[in-house]
Chain A
Amino acid sequence: MEQSKKPKKTSLLRRFRHNKPALFAGIVLIIILTMILFAPIFTNFGPAKSDLANRLTGPTTEASMAVGVTQPHFLGTDQLGRDIYTRLLYGGRVSLNVGFTVATIGGVIGVVLGMLAGYFGGWTDMIIMRMVDVWASSPTLLIALTFVMILGPGQKNLIFALLINSWTLFCRMARSQVLIIRSSAMVESGHAIGASTNRILYKHIMPNIISPMVTTYILELAHFINAEANLSFLGFGVQPPDTSWGLMIGEGRKYLTQAPWIVIFPGLMIATTVLCLNLIGNWIRDEFDPLAVKL
């Protein structure tokens, strides 16, 4: 078994290595994730720690005068003297947490519903897909905004609000994939040997639709990191003194002319993360879709 699997794996890794943008994106993402997850190792400041003597200072390599801290404000400070670099790391936790949670839960719900709709067809399909149509016909952000207004701001409510719409794309994708496989000889063969519907759905159909789902997942992850930033920017996400990349931009907006670094760096982080996720998502799509045109 190992003998037959090995060449496949190495060649996949090699193909990954040869796709320069995807490789670059992967490395950058790993660095960002590691720094965010192990934030306390990478900075000596606390995220809410004010260094009032150094408010609105630009990026510098000179160590700050704050008591007991020997680390310079690499990326400058904000209007309260908080270290931008530190806040980027801690704020990233919120951004990625929201993104991952929404995409994961939405993905699971959407894929399961989409598979049921595609496999059973008829009324099941009709009810599920009309629900998708209704939800997907209204803009994600507007719905999320409405729900956050009703529920009140905060990270949990933000996740909930985004979840309302996040499953629809997964549902559509899973359904269309299952529709293709449902009529295949593979499924018929499963019925012929007496395999249960569950077995056919989860042991045969699901593994065969997983790669387009992974692509969708990664692209949706980027989408929801963006959505969180947008909502936080408007003040409906996490509340100060906690922060996220979107909120940092929102708070720094007023100081854009005097201290542009407050806005520039979180903006760069969002752009970089989303770009990297998109590059990897595109690579996976091309790699696993035999019909995709290779450039």
Chain B
Amino acid sequence: MIDERAKKTLLSVRGLKKYFPIGGGLVTKAKSFVHAVDGVTLDVMAGETLGLVGESGCGKTTIGRLVLKLLPKTEGEIFFQGEDIYQYSKEQEKNFRTKAQLIFQDSFSSFDSRDTIGKIIGEPLLVHGIASGSELQDRVSQLLLDVGLKPDLYNEYPHTLAAGQKQCIGIARSIALNPDFIVCDEPISALDVSVRAMVLNLLKDLQSSKNLTYMFISHDIRVVRWLSSHIAVMYVGKLCEYAETEEMFAHRLHPYTEALLSAVPIEDPRKRNIKREILLGEVPSPVDPPPGCRFAARCKLANERCFKEDPVLEERKPGHWVACWENFHGESEIS
């Protein structure tokens, strides 16, 4: 049963590109473009979690917005349950909005500060005409219980709550419509360390009880490892490596993944002397980038070819994709 479900692709992204113009207006053309997402291809399996990692500004959030059709794409295709979301009819689009949801980094800023908690959580149900009146109130109370809050918060305002509870309100709002797929855009980055575990556990519990599929966007690879079944590593708009979580941690095939993993702090002080991969140089600008591998300038393996040709994402091992010209194998002792 589980195996069958895992094989089903919920979301597939093919050659997705998003360029943001710099300058230019209605009449004049933009002179240059930010290549926020530059040809990304990946799949998200139903019932699983894809962890999308990369440093800030690498286009993780943009992908999250694109797969929810909250931004117009530049190029490429996104299929949700087999259908291209950019070809949807109005009816299909409305249906899509009940199936795919978003959890914000800072949920509080996504609330209308004039609304009560009940209104915020109940709005999706109201918008889609699923519940109203006392039924709505019952559903919202149940949702509050689902995320571990008291139902009597219904008439309170969110600014009276602690940050972790605000995030739970945001989660309750996004699961109100019983979606299949949720994009979690750095849902714990804005939280205190003390409440992160609470929110992560909640997300994991909800996933199993409601059979949710997550795209979990984060820059913290430890969190992603704990929650995700697959990991995709991004660098300046491109995918570097994509594999199952344990496979990725066992065999790093891209030097950037290696550097990312070895940057994770190690709790055990006795292991402090471990050899680490430390990146030098700066992240290149995503504005009209030159051809070649984006990582080349910081990569110790880079050769002439890396500066001239874009590496292609290829399946080096079954289920393990990597975009690198070199035959790299991570060696540092990280696990």
| Chain A residues within an 8 Å CB radius of B102 | 188-189, 192
| Chain A residues within an 8 Å CB radius of B109 | 184-186
A123 touches B106 (CB 8 A): no
Instruction: Classify chain A: how many residues form its interface, as a range.
Output: 20 to 34
Which residues of chain B from 74 to 131 have a CB within 8 Å of any chain A CB?
93-94, 97-98, 101-102, 104, 106, 109-114, 116, 123-124, 127-128
Asked if B173 is at the interface of the complex by the 8 Å CB criterion, the answer is yes
Question: Quick one: CB contact mask for A192-205 with B, threshold 8 Å, 1 for yes?
Answer: 11111001000110
Asked if B68 is at the interface of the complex by the 8 Å CB criterion, the answer is yes
Name A's interface SS. helix
Contacts A4-B157, A126-B26, A195-B123: A186 and B110 contacting too (C-beta < 8 A)?
yes
| Chain A residues within an 8 Å CB radius of B116 | 1
CA of A126 to CA of B25, assembled, Å = 10
A195 touches B106 (CB 8 A): no
Asked if A208 is at the interface of the complex by the 8 Å CB criterion, the answer is yes
Contacts A185-B104, A192-B70, A193-B123: A1 and B155 contacting too (C-beta < 8 A)?
yes
Contacts A184-B109, A208-B114: A4 and B156 contacting too (C-beta < 8 A)?
yes
Q: Which residue from A122, A123, A185, A193 sits with its C-beta under 8 Å from B177?
A: A193
CA of A193 to CA of B160, assembled, Å = 24
| Chain A residues within an 8 Å CB radius of B104 | 185, 188-189
Q: How far is the CB of B191 from chain A (nearest CB, A)?
A: 16
B124 touches A193 (CB 8 A): yes
Output the nearest chain A residue to B102 by Cβ-Cβ distance: A192
Q: Which residue from A4, A186, A196 sits with its C-beta under 8 Å from B111?
A: A186
Output the nearest chain B residue to A191 by Cβ-Cβ distance: B70
Output the nearest chain A residue to B176 by Cβ-Cβ distance: A193
| Chain A residues within an 8 Å CB radius of B113 | 208
Q: How far is the CB of A204 from chain B (nearest CB, A)?
A: 5
A185 touches B106 (CB 8 A): yes
B26 touches A123 (CB 8 A): yes
CA of A225 to CA of B316, assembled, Å = 78
Asked if A68 is at the interface of the complex by the 8 Å CB criterion, the answer is no
Asked if A241 is at the interface of the complex by the 8 Å CB criterion, the answer is no
Q: How far is the CB of B115 from chain A (nearest CB, A)?
A: 9
Apart from A188-B102, A192-B70, list 5 A-B contacts with CB within 8 A: A1-B155, A188-B104, A192-B68, A193-B173, A194-B94
Those 3 A-B pairs whose CB atoms lie nearest each other, nearest first: A194-B97, A189-B110, A185-B110
A residues within 8 Å of B by Cβ?
1, 3-4, 122-123, 126, 184-186, 188-189, 191-196, 199, 203-204, 207-208
B residues within 8 Å of A by Cβ?
26, 65, 68, 70, 93-94, 97-98, 101-102, 104, 106, 109-114, 116, 123-124, 127-128, 155-157, 160, 173-174, 176-177
